[in-house]
Amino acid sequence: MTIHTWQVTGMTCGHCVAAVREEVSALDGVRDVDVELETGRVTVTSEVPLDRAAVAAAVEEAGYQLA
């Protein structure tokens, strides 16, 4: 297992958290996504290392940006 942590900007509510969690969870190999609204921290546990560009695209699909 691999654990990655990123910062996401623009999240302001529980809906934001759910949207980011849903999009990032859809990436291949992802097992768990923890999104902290207060800090903007997104911690992803995956079976394989994740490509930053793929995570950035998923976050952007949800309407937010990687910091």
DSSP structure string for the chain: -EEEEEEEE---SHHHHHHHHHHHHTSTTEEEEEEETTTTEEEEEESSPPPHHHHHHHHHHHT-EE-
pLDDT, residue 55, reads: 97
| 4-62 pLDDT tens trace | 999 999 999 999 999 999 999 999 999 999 999 999 999 999 999 999 999 999 999 99
| Number of domains composing the chain | 1
Distance CA 63, CA 13 (A): 13
Under 8 Å between Cβ of 48 and 59: no
Domain coverage including residue 30: 2-66
* pTM for the structure as a whole: 0.94
Q: What is the CATH number of the domain that holds 24?
A: 3.30.70.100
